[in-house]
Amino acid sequence: MVEGVASQAGVKTASDEGEDAPEQWEEWLEALFPAYVGEPFGDRHKRFWNWLWDIGPNESPRPYVGIYPRGGGKSTTAELATCALGLRDVCDYAVYVQKTQSDANDAISNIQKLIESAQVERYYPAHSKPEVGKYGNTRGWSMERLRTEGGFAVDALGLNSAFRGAKVDESRPDLVILDDIDHKHDSADMTRKKLQTIKDSIMQAVSDTGSVVIGMQNLIHPNGIFARLEDGRADFLQRRIVDGPHPAVEDLETERQKDEGTGNYRDVIVGGTPTWEGQDLEDCQTRINESGLDSFIRECQNEVKEREGALWSSACLSAVRVGPEETPEFQRIVVGVDPAGGTDEVGIVVAGLSFSGTAYVLDDRSVDSAVGPNRWGQIVRDAYDYWRADAVLGETNYGGTMIKNTVQGTAGQTVNFNEVTATRGKQVRAEPVAALYGGSDVGFEDSQVKHAGSFHALEKQMTSWVPGDSDSPDRLDALVWALTDLLIESNNRSPSLIV
């Protein structure tokens, strides 16, 4: 038991009274906190609770770092885990760390509500009551500290307060919870200060006789603490288990559709599989409606990485985005095609050139190459017909003849085919196209390219590919062919072939 926290003589521990609680974690949670576990557990939740349930007193398991989507049960899981380790006498003293003191205090308030419940009193009556001093004064419940009569204590610690000195020296915590410690607007200096506090103040203060460390957050900052824990840049918690990052929806597909009620266009989920029943497609669609697709991608899909050296950024792509209803008439429309090379996809991207000279990315119909040539050839022809395109662009020195034959298909449709030849490397081809998107110093207002809607998979390749990479993302290649034709080589196009 923690010295100075619950050493009062005569205090009974939770194991001395109360009914016997269920032994297995799922039954235990359902018995003690039924209102919080109404939805079936997802695979990530099961892995976490199996890990936690194997921990015994005075043990130091590998730290667990869970990277869950917003709305995916991360903070609730962390708060329930704090209760489980404390009520079952596995840990005596927890430090609950969040980015601000106010957030940490709210977490303590949530934990207090959990352990004051009638269900906790039934199984762990001593823990359901605050610690009482020798003169009968209640001293266990406060805004920043929770102490139970059963000997469990939890302190709230905000990293903004901890900069003035983390006050954990009076006792040695055997449980550290790092919950939502990153902020999307953290500067490099702020992240450095947070790391210093965690490593030099908090982790240096943990118990020598055993300690448990749990981290829970979604990825909201490409250079934040959890991003560093996930990709290996963090040099602390070196034995950590990293579970994630998990998206809310696997294989998410969206498209811009006109809302019949408002007459405006909005992003609608048209494909994908939820990773947890408690956050289904309806819930995800509501989040997109309320906060926008870009926010959903960051907060719920855990996609915030913009690799250093990438030619495009999320800020750039957001700045050049317009709604499909804002597109003008076009003087030329092309379908760029790049067959599966470095990836398992056939890149199929449609772009058009307006009479004002601005190019618009209109459609991404890229498809898994496993569908076979007949199927992806039909998809190219469908895009060509739907957009009334002027040409299909295909690389002649990488399957050019194959592309022409595949696009023509067995039906013998007439398709205007332009041969393009890769005489330069991808970096040399892509950099002039990236330059067309304008400069960050003027907010990309000088961009010669607009994106008519959101193209999630394509834009992910754009912000993650770095010149020199050995892989060859085919959606990006198809985009480069299309924009090169429209804006860079408009006066020097290859002869057209009717196939």
Tens of pLDDT, residue by residue over 156-189, are 999 987 544 444 446 789 999 999 999 988 888 8
- Check pLDDT > 50 for residue 8: no
Alpha-carbon distance 433 to 415, whole Å?
A: 26
Sign of the C-alpha dihedral computed for residues 118, 121, 123 and 124 taken in this order: positive
> Hey, what are 498's tokens?
């009717």
Q: 3-state DSSP helix/strand/coil percent for the chain, to nearest 5? A: 35, 20, 45
- Check pLDDT > 90 for residue 71: yes
At 86 the pLDDT is 97
Give the 3-state secondary structure of residue 327.
Answer: coil
Q: Tell me the whole-structure pTM to 2 decimals.
A: 0.70
E strand or H helix at 498, and its extent? strand 496-498
- Check pLDDT > 80 for residue 496: no
- Check pLDDT > 70 for residue 226: yes
Q: How far apart are the first and last CA of the chain?
A: 81
At residue 400, what is the residue type?
G
DSSP 324: G
> Hey, what are 2's tokens?
């923690």
Overall average pLDDT of the 218-226 stretch: 89
- Strand 212-217 relative to strand 64-67, pairing: parallel
Alpha-carbon distance 396 to 442, whole Å?
A: 38
Banded model confidence at residue 410, pLDDT cuts 50, 70, 90: low
CA 95 to chain centre: 26
Give the 3-state secondary structure of residue 122.
Answer: helix
Banded model confidence at residue 305, pLDDT cuts 50, 70, 90: low
E strand or H helix at 363, and its extent? strand 359-364
Q: How many CB atoms lie within 10 A of CB 213?
A: 23
At 398 the pLDDT is 57
Each residue's pLDDT tens digit, 246-280: 999 999 988 878 888 888 888 899 999 999 999 99
The CA-based angle 145-203-99, given to 5 degrees, is: 55
